[in-house]
Amino acid sequence: MANRDIIHAIAFNADGLVPAIAQQHDSGEVLMVAWMNADAVEKTLNTGQICYWSRSRQALWRKGESSGQTQRLIEMRLDCDADTLLLLVDQTGVACHTGRHNCFFRAVRGGELVTIAKVETDPKELYGE
Amino acid sequence: MANRDIIHAIAFNADGLVPAIAQQHDSGEVLMVAWMNADAVEKTLNTGQICYWSRSRQALWRKGESSGQTQRLIEMRLDCDADTLLLLVDQTGVACHTGRHNCFFRAVRGGELVTIAKVETDPKELYGE
């Protein structure tokens, strides 16, 4: 595996991070955006399970490690500037920590921010009390 | 219009920027990712035409101003942390400066980066010689 070559091709920012969009591979739904460092990219490619870098916890974060809502990698893509990743994934359950299916649940409609998606799973079920 | 309230809801980073994903509204194709500052968000909401902030040129950049490949705003969405925008757009022509329909034309397949989309429009046609 030439994971090293792939990682070398990525233009990480000054903090060593690259934004990664997770998109449901079959429906096209944009689920979430998070960040990866080189270790997260490598772990994702090696395991086939999406692993991000948590900027708040400053630690690798295997998606679903707490909630069980994992993301299986279908395909990793790189944009023209090599500074953004698109992850085609298969999402188990809900992607958003609020219990919604994706994180983009607020829309600008009629000049206001409107919540357009319902909570599908109680966050208490995902993370405990 | 409560554009000011919407802009206040966005968590811009230390540089005053927020990443914005442009997604073709009907097909679900992820076209590109670029950055917006508050002025770009306001101009986009006011005109209905996508306007980004060019980090390289340090200037507002109305998508398509050079190439004619504009993006019409269908809906702007905000994620749970308010630090990423999802723009549902109607793309005219190709989104990528390489002349491909979207910027994510390299995929990791068989351990290598493979180009998976063809150039649809010669960049010389888009930007001149």
**Which residues of chain A are within 8 Å of residue B94 when distances are taken between CB atoms?**
none
pLDDT digits (tens, 9 = 90+) for A18-70: 999 999 999 999 999 999 999 999 999 999 999 999 999 999 999 999 999 99
The predicted model gives B1-7 an average pLDDT of 81
Mutation to test the B interface, candidates A85, A101, A104, most B Cβ within 10 Å: A104
From residue B27, how far is each of A81, B31, B65, B90, B118 by CA, in Å? 23, 11, 24, 10, 18
Q: Which residue of A has its CA nearest to B97?
A: A80
A105: left (phi over 0), alpha (psi -120 to 50) or beta: alpha
- pTM for this model (two decimals): 0.96
Of A9, A100, A106, the CB nearest to B78: A106
Q: Does B57 touch chain A (CB under 8 A)?
A: no
pLDDT digits (tens, 9 = 90+) for B43-84: 999 999 999 999 999 999 999 999 999 999 999 999 999 999
